Amino acid sequence: MPAQSMEALVSLCKRRGFIFQSGEIYGGMQGLYDYGPLGVELKNNLKAAWWRAMVYERDDVEGLDASILTHRKTLKYSGHEATFSDPLVDCRQCKARWRADHIEDQCPACGAKDLTEPRPFNLMFKTAVGPVDDGTNFAYMRPETAQAIFTNFRHVVDSTARRPPFGIAQIGKAFRNEITPRNFIFRVREFEQMELEFFVTPGTDEDWHRYWVEARIAWWEAQGVPRDRLELLVVEADELAHYSKATTDIMYRFPHGLEELEGVANRTDFDLGSHSKDQEGLALSAAVEPNTDSNARLAIQDPDSKAWQVPYVIEPSAGVDRGVLAVLNEAYRVETLDNGSERTVLALPRHLAPLKAAVIPLKKNHDGIVETARALKARLQKLGLGRILYEHTGNIGKAYRRHDEVGTPLCITIDFETIEGDGTVTLRDRDSMTQQRIPLAEVPAALKAYYSEDGEGA
Ligand code: GAP
Q: Average pLDDT in the 29-50 region? A: 98
pLDDT of 458 reads 53
Distance CA 244, CA 149 (A): 17
Instruction: Take atom 14 of ligand 1 and give the residue whose Cα is closest.
Output: 262
Higher pLDDT, 303 or 410: 410
Instruction: Take atom 15 of ligand 1 and give the residue whose Cα is closest.
Output: 319
Sign for the pseudo-dihedral over CA of 292, 195, 385, 18: positive
The reply to whether 197 and 322 lie within a common domain is yes
Kindly give the distance from the C-alpha atom of residue 17 to the centroid of ligand 1, in angstroms, as a whole number: 25
The reply to whether 216 and 231 lie within a common domain is yes
The reply to whether 308 and 218 lie within a common domain is yes
- Cβ of residue 39 lying under 6 Å from some atom of ligand 1: no
The reply to whether 44 and 89 lie within a common domain is no
* Contacts for 27 with CB less than 8 Å, ≥ 6 apart: none
C-alpha distance from residue 167 to each of 58, 177, 197, 308, 320 (Å):
10, 29, 5, 19, 19
**How many residues would you count in the chain?**
458
Kindly give the distance from the C-alpha atom of residue 193 to the centroid of ligand 1, in angstroms, as a whole number: 7
Which of 62-76, 95-109, 160-174 shows the lowest mean pLDDT across its residues? Answer: 95-109
The reply to whether 142 and 285 lie within a common domain is yes
SS3 category, 32? coil
Q: Average pLDDT in the 114-140 region? A: 92
Kindly give the distance from the C-alpha atom of residue 186 to the centroid of ligand 1, in angstroms, as a whole number: 10
pLDDT of 454 reads 77
The reply to whether 223 and 156 lie within a common domain is yes
Per-residue pLDDT reduced to its tens digit, 40-96: 999 999 999 999 999 999 999 999 999 999 999 999 999 999 999 999 999 999 999
Q: Where are the alpha helices (DSSP H) in 21-118?
A: 37-51, 72-77, 80-83
pLDDT of 135 reads 81
**CATH number assigned to the domain comprising residue 243:** 3.30.930.10
Domain span at residue 173?
6-70+125-327
| CA 192, chain centre distance (Å) | 6
Q: Average pLDDT in the 242-263 region? A: 97
| CA 221, chain centre distance (Å) | 15
In a domain, 430, yes or no: yes
Per-residue pLDDT reduced to its tens digit, 260-285: 999 999 999 999 999 999 898 899 99
- Cβ of residue 86 lying under 6 Å from some atom of ligand 1: no
pTM of the model: 0.96
Q: What is the DSSP string of 356-368?
A: SEEEEES-TT-HH
Instruction: Take atom 9 of ligand 1 and give the residue whose Cα is closest.
Output: 317
